[in-house]
Amino acid sequence: MDTRVAELEVSLSNGIAIRTTQLVKRYGEREVLHGLDLTVEAGEFIAVVGRSGCGKSTFLRLLAGLEKHSSGSISLDGYAAPGIHPDVRIMFQDSRLLPWRTVIQNVALGLPGDSRQVALAALCEVGLADRADEWPANLSGGQRQRVALARALVHQPRLLLLDEPLGALDALTRIEMQCLIERLWQQHNFTVLLVTHDVAEAVTLGDRVVLIEDGSITLDLDINLPRRRERGTAEFAALEGQVLHKVLGAQLCPN
């Protein structure tokens, strides 16, 4: 009976739980993160917002194991993070597809053996199976990001780190991509950390919106709106206003 409960819990949340304590990152003299404490439960969707240069991308790179933190600790599922973690995938603002590989070869990158079927399934999930054999150069920006998403999904990550992946897309494509990310997150139950400068996007997608200002967390807000959130509602606008007000602070209206 106990084992069945344990199994059920595993299948309910496939994600990685994150805990950072007093996380500090210095580049030479300059301290970028000053003691960041954040706890993320398995399967949670966290949206990290902040002005450019506040350290939010650095935070994500530390979680991805791309850079070493200067002091403090990061634990994934209770273990100290060992550099690049095989269950963690990161997506950047640029798709970083290899231009000399076809779409499907890009998705299959790093998979062992004959992985065409697996890669094709992942492309299906992002709705691009029919473009499998084209060069990335023939795709639009939004399609390239979807391929990058498929490439991350194919490894069945348990933690997906998104570093402003929609930042360079037009408004309509962004909304489509937000729906896609939300749907895939609900389907696969991984943990997501989305870094964005778009507060509306953060409120649309996040279980929690975390604000980083000048290297520290200054706001950690639960978003308890039911999902498929409508942007027009009063509650949505109130939450968005609350975060925006905090971000902009005293400079809200310079005039």
Partner 1 sequence: MLNRILRVSSTWLLPWLLPLVLVLGWQAAAQLGWLSTRVLPAPLDVLKAGIELGSSGELWHHFVASFKRAFTGLLIGGSLGFILGFFTGLSRFAENLLDSTLQMVRNVPLLALIPLVILWFGIGEEGKVFLVSLAVFFPIYLNTFHGLRSVDKDLIEMGKIYGLGRVALFREVILPGALPSILVGLRLSLGYMWLFLVVAETISSSEGIGYMTMNAREFLQTDVVVLGIAFYALLGKASDVAATQLERHWLKWHKSYRT
Helix, strand, or coil (residue 164):
coil
Structure tokens at 149: 């998403």
Site for partner 1 in 65-94 (CB under 8 A): 66, 84, 86, 89-90, 92, 94
Q: Select 99 or 113, whichever has its Cβ closest to partner 1.
A: 99
Closest contact distance (angstroms) between CB of 84 and partner 1 is 6
The alpha carbons of the chain give a radius of gyration, in whole angstroms, of 19
| Residue 202 and residue 178 in contact, taking contact as beta carbons nearer than 8 Å | no
Which of 8, 80, 137, 252 is the binder for partner 1 (CB under 8 A)? 137
How far CA 80 is from CA of 60, 111, 193, 216, in Å, comes to 16, 26, 18, 21
Assess 101 for contact with partner 1 (CB under 8 A).
yes
Q: How far is the CB of 55 from partner 1 (least distance, A)?
A: 19
The residue from 28, 82, 99, 226 that contacts partner 1 (CB under 8 A) is 99
Residues 107-136 that bind partner 1 (CB under 8 A): 109-110, 135
> Do you know the residue count of the chain?
255
100 binds partner 1 (CB under 8 A): yes
Residues 6+ apart with CB under 8 A from 148: 91, 92, 95, 96, 97, 165
CB of 24 to partner 1, least distance (A): 23
Q: How far apart are CA 219 and CA 124, in angstroms?
A: 38
Site size toward partner 1, by CB under 8 A: 19
- Minimum distance of partner 1 from residue 195's CB (angstroms): 16
**Helix pair 141-153, 171-188: axis angle to 10 deg:** 10
Q: Cα separations (Å) of 176 from 48, 75, 145, 255? A: 20, 33, 12, 36
Cβ-contact 144, 93 below 8 angstroms = no
Taking the complex as a whole, how short is the minimal distance between the CB of residue 96 and partner 1, in angstroms?
A: 4
The 142-171 contact track toward partner 1, x by CB under 8 A, reads: ---------x---x----------------
* Shortest distance in whole angstroms from residue 110 CB to partner 1: 4
Does position 236 interact with partner 1 (CB under 8 A)? The reply is no
Provide the token pair at 178: 């937000």
Residues that bind partner 1 (CB under 8 A): 64, 66, 84, 86, 89-90, 92, 94, 96, 98-101, 109-110, 135, 137, 151, 155
